[in-house]
Amino acid sequence: LKAEIIMVGSELISGDKYDINGPYLAGSLAAIGIDVFRITTVGDKKRAIEGALRSGCAEAETGLIIVTGGLGPTKDDITTDAAAAFTGYPLIVHDEALKHVRSLVKCRDKESLHAHERQALIPRTAELLKNHLGTAYGYILRHEDKILAFMPGEPKEMMDMAERELIPSLKDRGLAGSAPGTKSFHVFGLSEVAIESLITAPLEEFECLKTAYLPSLLEVTVRLSSRAGDGGGIMEQATAVIRRALNDSVFAEDDITMEQAVGNLLRKRGMTLALAESCTGGLIGHRITNVSGSSDYFLMGLVVYSNEAKTRFLEVEPSLLKEYGAVSSEVAARMAEGAREAAGASIGLAVTGIAGPAGGSRDKPVGTVFIALASDAGNRCKGFRFRGSREDIKALTAQNALDLLRRALIGL
């Protein structure tokens, strides 16, 4: 059984919005052994939606068609009209959906009640998919030998509905296949080509595993997958091979993020962290505190954008700033020490740099960054020259700072 995903929304074909529903649904379906054959994105036009339903149903391999978007209360939202026209099922008011809409709209905005009541008009014979977050119920229809599922386009509502309603219903209907075994490795500091050259030969004996490389600005994810179930611990063996080949460059596996990996190491070592951020403006602290429970090891961050703040809070001597400039290894090292002392933390981590697009010079062009660590084991500092937009340079600085901290913690 294969699936087709149809996304409805004029904003998705006008360049106004990135789609996150398609990849999410494809991933959820893959996890229950259903492959996606095609994703089609069309605007809020009845003819286009019906056309997409028609080609989806014409595909012999496809048994499941999932449509997202166009279930809202405004007059743009015409997916249900298109579904009714395509399948021939008349629209009727579903009491459960009507009650749901009324209960939600009551506490919000009376004027719009009438518009929202349209959302309870759903094709006859539909199995309802509850919306736990908003007014738009989804539903499942049978059409000839295909199953058609309709869900709202708002990503949070769609994702919640997929997880709590759609996927269980597909399982109940016996549509779930055997999920592939997968294992992901998050790699930092090696390019896709370098990783490939390190692991291709050692992985040759694992013929039944597929290797995928997913590069992004901040990491390369290597993903192994086995379609045939994991006979005889093959995945474990391959995992050991990859860990050996890539070693410290694997900063985390599966769902673990860089900031979680760093947090786990700090907790394990019983150490605390203080930050001094200049060019990242708070991004490193933001990432560290994306981890629940980070208050156990994260004491404080100082975002010292001005020289005065660097001097006042981190005791960076004005003479140091004058002699070497705020963007220098000397100032970075002093900032790391200053943060550590000020917070009484085990480790101080500091960054200073030129994120651009203005502020560069011949000696220190945009992208020049220094990252420093201070701890009982001594201080270290590293210089970088990043390329990219202001946001890229901030993101690369934060990732490199976290990775430097991670490697130092492993070494301790």
Taking CB under 8 A as the criterion, which residues in 364-393 touch its own copies? 388, 390-391
Q: What is the rounded distance in angstroms from the CA atom of residue 52 to the CA atom of residue 183?
A: 34
Provide, rounded to whole angstroms, the least separation between the CB of residue 62 and its own copies. 11
Q: Which amino acid is at 304?
A: V
Phi, psi dihedral angles at 103 (to 5 degrees): -65, -35
Q: How far is 48 from 268, CA to CA, in rounded Å?
A: 56
Binding residue for its own copies (CB under 8 A) from 32, 33, 43, 248?
A: 43
Q: Are 383 and 329 in contact (CB under 8 A)?
A: yes
Q: Which of 118, 143, 394, 407 binds its own copies (CB under 8 A)?
A: 394
Q: Is 91 exposed, middle or buried (0-12, 13-18, 19+ CB in 10 A)?
A: middle
Pull the structure tokens for residue 9.
Answer: 């929304």
Q: Which residue number, 119 or 375, has a Cβ lying nearer to its own copies?
A: 119
Q: Interface with its own copies by CB under 8 A: which range of 85-93, 94-102, 165-173, 206-214?
A: 206-214
Shortest separation between residue 351's beta carbon and its own copies, angstroms: 12
User: Which region, judged by CB under 8 A, interacts with its own copies, from 23-31, 85-93, 138-146, 165-173?
Assistant: 23-31
- Using the minimum distance from each CB to its own copies, give the nearer residue, 109 or 205: 109
**Which C-beta is closer to its own copies: that of 87 or that of 278?**
278
Query: Which CB sits closer to its own copies, 34 or 234?
Result: 34
Q: How far is the CB of 211 from its own copies (least distance, A)?
A: 9
What span, in angstroms and rounded, lies between the C-alpha atoms of 36 and 214? 18
Euclidean distance between CA atoms 280 and 354, whole angstroms: 9
Candidate residues 1, 33, 37, 382; the one interacting with its own copies per rule CB under 8 A: 37
Closest CA to 154 of 12, 351, 314: 12
Query: Whose Cβ is closer to its own copies: residue 126's or residue 327's?
Result: 327
Rounded Cα distance between 48 and 339, Å, is: 59
Stretch that binds its own copies, among 167-175, 208-216, 237-245, 400-408 (CB under 8 A): 208-216
Return the axis-axis angle of helices 329-343 and 307-314, rounded to nearest 10°: 40
Residue list 241-300, contact with its own copies (CB under 8 A)? 275, 277, 279-286, 288-290, 292-295, 298-300
Distances (CA, A) of 412 to 169, 268, 319, 335, 343: 50, 11, 33, 21, 21
55 CB-near residues (< 8 Å, 6+ apart)? 40
User: Which residue, 139, 94, 138, is CA-closest to 120?
Assistant: 94
**Span 312-351, contacts to its own copies by CB under 8 A:** 312-313, 342-344
Cβ 125 to its own copies shortest distance, Å? 28
Residue 266: CB minimum distance to its own copies, A: 13
Count CB neighbours of 277 within 10 A: 26
**Under the criterion CB under 8 A, does residue 204 sit at the interface with its own copies?**
no
Find the binding residues for its own copies in span 144-183 (CB under 8 A): 154, 156
> Which CB, 40 or 123, lies closer to its own copies?
40
The residue range among 85-93, 171-179, 213-221, 236-244 that interacts with its own copies, by the rule CB under 8 A, is 213-221
Using the contact rule CB under 8 A, the part of the chain among 32-40, 121-129, 231-239, 329-337 near its own copies is 32-40
Using alpha carbons only, give the angle 32, 23, 388 rounded to the nearest 5 degrees. 140
d(CA 375, CA 397): 20
Q: How far is the CB of 327 from its own copies (least distance, A)?
A: 12
Is residue 111 close enough to count as binding its own copies by CB under 8 A? yes
Which of 56, 70, 73, 123 is close enough to bind its own copies by CB under 8 A?
73
Of 215, 325, 360, 383, the residue at the interface with its own copies (CB under 8 A) is 215
CA–CA separation, 409 and 109 (whole Å)? 53
Give whichever of 126 and 326 is closer to its own copies, judged by the CB atom: 326
Can you read off the two tokens belonging to residue 127?
Answer: 């199995």
Q: Does 28 bind its own copies (CB under 8 A)?
A: yes
Are residues 65 and 53 in contact, defined by beta-carbon separation less than 8 angstroms?
A: yes
- Interface positions, 118-137, toward its own copies (CB under 8 A): none
Q: Measured from the CB of residue 304, what is the shortest distance to its own copies in angstroms?
A: 6
| φ, ψ dihedrals at 305, nearest 5° | -80, -35
Sole window of 6-14, 84-92, 120-128, 402-410 interacting with its own copies (rule: CB under 8 A): 6-14
